[in-house]
Amino acid sequence: MWAEFCKFAGEMNMDMTKIKTIGVLTSGGDAPGMNAAIRAVTRAAIYNGWKVKGIYRGWEGLINNEIKDFTSESVSGTINRGGTILRTARSKDFMNEEGRAKAHENLKAHGVDALIVIGGNGSLAGAQIIASEYDIPCVGLPGTIDNDLYGTDTTIGYDTALNTIMDCVDKIRDTANSHNRIFFVEVMGRDAGFLAQNAAIATGAEAAIIPEDKTDVDQLATFIGRGVRKSKNSSIVLVSESKKDGSGGAQYYADRLVHEYPEFEARVTILGHLQRGGIPTAQDRILASRLGVAAIEALKDGQRNVMIGVKNDQIVYVPFNKAIRIDKPIDRELINVLNVLSI
- Catalytic residue IDs: 146
Q: Cα torsion for 167, 173, 178, 180, to the nearest 10°?
A: 160
Q: How far apart are CA 144 and CA 147, in angstroms?
A: 6
Classify burial at 110, counting beta carbons within 10 Å of its beta carbon; exposed 0-12, middle 13-18, buried 19 or more.
middle
Cα–Cα distances in Å, from 297 out to 22, 116, 293? 13, 12, 6
Residue 58: which of 14, 13, 89 has the closest Cα?
A: 89
Q: How far apart are CA 268 and CA 111, in angstroms?
A: 51
Q: Give the torsion sign (CA, 199, 201, 202, 204).
A: positive
Residues 6+ apart with CB under 8 A from 40: 288, 289, 290, 291, 292, 293
Angle ∠(133,139,143) on CA atoms, nearest 5: 120
Q: How far apart are CA 47 and CA 50, in angstroms?
A: 7
